[in-house]
């Protein structure tokens, strides 16, 4: 079995930053402005898989795959939407699998 982690991809840098922010007021019905900067740099190009999640995928000047994602969640299971997640992730454009798995895990655990 090949090695996992950094040993498997020397020199490859993956990055996933997560911000957890309590909503300043009711966030049970997110509005378009709630997906604007600073949460998404280019909200006009965002994909909305549901009414509480938006993301963009781009490639930066260095060829890095970049994902910006924001999602409204409940801080307690079954509770009201009261928290906003902000996620900024980068990965080499030809090696996005690890970051995609991490994003999928975050989305699954906050559904």
pLDDT tens-digit profile of 38-54? 889 999 999 999 999 99
Within-domain flag for 4:
no
pLDDT digit string, tens, across residues 12-68: 688 999 999 999 887 888 888 888 888 899 999 999 999 999 999 999 998 899 999
pLDDT at 1 over 80: no
Residue 89: domain span: 13-109
pLDDT at 6 over 50: no
Sign of CA dihedral 54, 110, 89, 17: positive
Within-domain flag for 86:
yes
Three-state secondary-structure class, residue 6: helix
Structural domain tally of the chain? 1
Nearest Cα neighbor of 98 from 39, 17, 13 is: 13
Within-domain flag for 104:
yes
Query: What distance lies between CA 104 and its chain's CA centroid?
Result: 9
* pLDDT of the residue at 10: 57
What is the rounded distance in angstroms from the CA atom of residue 63 to the CA atom of residue 12? 13
Within-domain flag for 8:
no
Within-domain flag for 40:
yes
Within-domain flag for 6:
no
79: left (phi over 0), alpha (psi -120 to 50) or beta: beta
């Amino acid at each position: 079995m090949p090695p996992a982690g950094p040993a498997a991809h020397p020199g490859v840098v993956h990055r996933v930053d997560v911000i957890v922010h309590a909503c300043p007021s009711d966030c049970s019905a997110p509005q378009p402005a709630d997906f604007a900067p600073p949460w998404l740099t280019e909200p006009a190009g965002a994909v909305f898989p549901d009414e509480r999640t938006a993301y963009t995928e781009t490639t930066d000047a260095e060829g890095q795959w970049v994902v910006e994602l924001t999602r409204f969640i409940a801080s307690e299971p079954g509770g009201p939407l009261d928290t906003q997640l902000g996620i900024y992730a980068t990965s080499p454009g030809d090696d996005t699998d690890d970051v995609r798995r991490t994003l999928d895990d975050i989305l699954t655990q906050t559904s």
